[in-house]
Amino acid sequence: MEVFLKVDHLNKSFKGKPVLRDISFEVNKGEIMAILGPNGAGKSTTIRNIMGIMYPDEGAITFQGNREIPRNKVGYLPEERGLYKNVKVMDMLMYLAELKDYPLKKARERVLTYLKKFGLEGKEKASIEELSKGMGQKVQFIASILHEPEFLILDEPFSGLDPVSQELIKQEIRDLAATGTAILLSSHQMNVVEEMCDRLFLIHRGQKVIYSTLDDVKKEYANFKCTIKGTIRLEDVEGLPEVQRIEQKDDTTVMYLTKDVQVASWLKNLPEQIDIKELSIDRISLHEIFIDIAMDKNMLKEGAGANA
């Protein structure tokens, strides 16, 4: 697998306060890598360092082995959306294509194709200020991919998009990865990450918590949980083996099980007298893993094995 971006032992402080500590990861061609973390974790600071908007105190960032950012090969959808307001959609996109030295005739064709694909046919003559927020966001997405970048950074690409538009953009991102684009995606929507990403880098308080493939994260951290609906007394279940913790709310009891539990034999331990209206066994989701980390419940402490 060809590495496009290498982030190597990055450190960054603001006014003496460290916000990135020894951050290292890579993004390969053809993969979607997620960068995740609670608010204030350091995601945008990492991305700004990659984009050369600010510089690390220590560490190196290389693109295909070179220190200099290959601007024409990089596409960036920043978190803070901002397009010139009183400019026509086509004019703005052509201006951006020109900045990237991209052939203008091809750019124009691509703009029209993408506008149609994203339900914005005919909007090329509209000025940016006439667009809705979601439309503006789709135009900004087009701006980030118009010049066929080899490396794409997408910071919260789905915020403000309706479900249909989200699907369109998701499909486009998948297609780009399938044709070899290296993609770094920052998102708070764990279901999207779970659905789309090959690997993830989870950062908390400026430090790496997980750097792994999604499959390994699930294997390593996504333990089973048993959810029972019914009136259950805590004392009837709290002595059960291989239960890490129990949460009860209204008529729902959730038992979080230990990592290597054999579910079928574990179920035999349930006392006969308990009132079960519904029962399900699921693996905990990436969303729950994320919340555990952010809330410092730290179910993860034992499982450092998935860290690359």
Ligand X SMILES: Nc1ncnc2c1ncn2[C@@H]1O[C@H](COP(=O)(O)OP(=O)(O)OP(=O)(O)O)[C@@H](O)[C@H]1O
Amino acid at 150: E
**Residue with smaller CB distance to ligand X, 47 or 107:** 47
Contact call for residues 279 and 253 (beta carbons, < 8 A):
no
CB 34 to ligand X: min, Å: 13
Contacts of 220 (CB under 8 A, 6+ apart): 212, 303, 305, 306
**Residue with smaller CB distance to ligand X, 36 or 93:** 36
Spacing of C-alpha 59 from chain mean position: 23
**Residue with smaller CB distance to ligand X, 12 or 110:** 12
**Residue with smaller CB distance to ligand X, 118 or 201:** 201
**Residue with smaller CB distance to ligand X, 40 or 180:** 40
Total residues in contact with ligand X, by rule CB under 6 A? 10
Contact call for residues 28 and 1 (beta carbons, < 8 A):
yes
Instruction: Report the alpha-carbon distance of residue 180 to residue 174 in Å, rounded.
Output: 10
CB 53 to ligand X: min, Å: 10
Contact call for residues 141 and 169 (beta carbons, < 8 A):
yes
Interface map 247-266 toward ligand X (x if CB under 6 A): --------------------
**Residue list 28-87, contact with ligand X (CB under 6 A):** 37, 39-45
Instruction: Report the alpha-carbon distance of residue 114 to residue 134 in Å, rounded.
Output: 15
**Residue with smaller CB distance to ligand X, 19 or 254:** 19
Contacts of 41 (CB under 8 A, 6+ apart): 203, 204, 205, 206
CB 46 to ligand X: min, Å: 7
CB 155 to ligand X: min, Å: 8
Residue 162, token pair as written in the block: 């309706």
Q: Does 157 contact ligand X by CB under 6 A?
A: no
CB 206 to ligand X: min, Å: 7
Q: Does 187 contact ligand X by CB under 6 A?
A: no
Binding residue (CB under 6 A) for ligand X from 9, 14, 109, 178:
14
**Residue with smaller CB distance to ligand X, 20 or 257:** 20
**Residue with smaller CB distance to ligand X, 140 or 223:** 140
Cβ burial 200-217 (10 Å sphere, 16+ → b, else e): bbbbbebebbbbbbbebb
DSSP SS3 for 151? strand
Backbone φ and ψ for 150, nearest 5 degrees, come out as -85, -20
CB 189 to ligand X: min, Å: 12
Q: How many CB atoms lie within 10 A of CB 19?
A: 17
Instruction: Report the alpha-carbon distance of residue 147 to residue 151 in Å, rounded.
Output: 11
Q: Does 19 contact ligand X by CB under 6 A?
A: yes
CB 146 to ligand X: min, Å: 25
Instruction: Report the alpha-carbon distance of residue 169 to residue 162 in Å, rounded.
Output: 11
CB 19 to ligand X: min, Å: 4
Binding site for ligand X (CB under 6 A): 14, 19, 37, 39-45
